[in-house]
Amino acid sequence: MEIQLWKKILDPYELAVKELTVKFEHLIEEHRLQGLYSPLEQVTGRVKSVSSILNKMRKKKILMEEMEEKVEDIAGIRIICQFVEDIKKVVEIIKSRSDMEVKEERDYITNMKDSGYRSYHVIIYYPIETLEGTRKIQAEIQIRTLGMNFWSTIEHSLQYKYEKNIPDHIRRRLTKAADAIIVLDREMSTVRGEIMDAQNSLLIQESLVSDILNTIHNLYHLSNKRELGKIQDEFYRIYELNDMEELKRFQRELDIIAEGYRAQSVEHKGIHH
Ligand code: 0O2
């Protein structure tokens, strides 16, 4: 096929990968803004290379005209989660969306592949808008934990190095490593609650500090330097205490002070007009 034709065929997939990546990243942001734990930790995407598409077609005896239906992972999205439990949540999110239609699910976590590969795959139809109108194209979403991703990335590189014929002694090591990842994921799940609590309080503290700094920043225009210096010193003193309740109390007091200055400033303007 002409190179130009490949470009034309793959272009809608480029768009789908970009859009899907933005959408999943936005989901992470939405969780963060609402102070919620996000079951999605990281999102990446790629369009399959032409040589990888051709290899798959050769291996599976797929004809050129069948390519877009049968090579389901031309558009590929990878979602990394912290815990195995998060994977189900991500699948539920995908199923509940009106812009993604699930074609098939492959649970290689319950049914690990012989290689030791574990991941949850969801094939979706996703509509994109082109000059010729709306087109539904396929995308493969791979959902896995950080541990599963570590294993499959290493194994994928070895497959590439040994051209899919990984020597037995390395295969055995990989199988052992896959078992170790299962144990690791299980161990991590037992402390999931603790980790989530720790991450949540870190998020809450970050947003509290950012609110306080915003308020102080706004006070630069309204209050005098000496007063501001005192407020800043008080903030650093309270921050050092490492006590969330104290920070919250300081935020409330600061809000009252800021409100007072704002009211004064409106009054002041009123007199001048
Ligand atoms: P790439 O380079 O990642 O794009 P299959 O017949 O098993 O090869 P199938 O039926 O198309 O693949 O779908 P499946 O099983 O859901 O796998 C599709 C993708 O899952 C693969 O794409 C890999 O990304 C990943 N995958 C599947 N099995 C393994 C495995 O044993 N090891 C690793 N590391 N990844 C795997 P491609 O096209 O094989 O490769």
**Listed range (78-82, 117-121, 216-220) with the worst mean pLDDT:** 216-220
Please tell me the residue having the least CA distance from ligand 1 atom 18: 73
Q: Is there an atom of ligand 1 within 6 Å of 185 CB?
A: no
Detail the DSSP E strand segments found in 131-222: 133-145
| Three-class SS state of 254 | helix
Q: Which two tokens stand for residue 235?
A: 């903030």
Output the DSSP codes for 20-53.
HHHHHHHHHHHHHHTTPPPS--EEEEEEPPHHHH
Residues classed as catalytic: 140
User: Does a structural domain hold residue 92?
Assistant: yes
Confidence of residue 92 (pLDDT cuts 50, 70, 90): very high
User: Does a structural domain hold residue 180?
Assistant: no
Maximum average pLDDT range among 141-145, 208-212, 232-236: 141-145
Q: Is there an atom of ligand 1 within 6 Å of 32 CB?
A: no
CA 271 to CA 66: how far, in whole Å? 77
Percent of the chain with pLDDT over 90: 68
pLDDT in tens, 10-45: 999 999 999 999 999 999 999 988 878 899 999 999
Q: Is there an atom of ligand 1 within 6 Å of 106 CB?
A: yes
User: Does a structural domain hold residue 80?
Assistant: yes
User: Does a structural domain hold residue 175?
Assistant: no
Q: CATH number, domain at 43?
A: 3.30.460.10
Do 121 and 243 have their domain in common?
no
Do 156 and 237 have their domain in common?
no
Do 145 and 264 have their domain in common?
no
User: Does a structural domain hold residue 154?
Assistant: yes
Structure confidence at residue 50 (pLDDT): 95
Distance 17 CA to ligand 1 centre (A): 18
Do 158 and 37 have their domain in common?
yes
Query: Using an 8 Å Cβ cutoff, are 136 and 110 in contact?
Result: no
Q: Which domain holds residue 200?
A: 195-272
Confidence of residue 219 (pLDDT cuts 50, 70, 90): confident
pLDDT in tens, 112-171: 999 999 999 999 999 999 998 999 999 999 999 999 999 999 999 998 888 878 899 999
Last residue of a domain, one of 167, 187, 212: 167
Do 87 and 32 have their domain in common?
yes
Torsion angles phi and psi, residue 128, rounded to 5: -125, 155
Q: Examine the pLDDT at 207 and tell me if it is beyond 90.
A: no
User: Does a structural domain hold residue 181?
Assistant: no
Confidence of residue 192 (pLDDT cuts 50, 70, 90): confident
Do 146 and 208 have their domain in common?
no
Distance 152 CA to ligand 1 centre (A): 10
Q: How far is CA 82 from the centre of its chain?
A: 10
Which of 23-27's residues contact partners 24+ apart within 8 Å by CB, and which partners? 23/99, 24/77, 24/79, 27/93
User: Does a structural domain hold residue 64?
Assistant: yes
Residue 63's contacts (CB-CB under 8 Å, 6 or more residues apart) are 57
Q: Is there an atom of ligand 1 within 6 Å of 178 CB?
A: no
Structure confidence at residue 269 (pLDDT): 65
User: Does a structural domain hold residue 173?
Assistant: no
Confidence of residue 272 (pLDDT cuts 50, 70, 90): low
Our count of domains for the chain comes to 2
Between 223 and 48, whose confidence is greater? 48
Please tell me the residue having the least CA distance from ligand 1 atom 28: 117
Do 9 and 100 have their domain in common?
yes
Please tell me the residue having the least CA distance from ligand 1 atom 2: 52
Do 84 and 36 have their domain in common?
yes
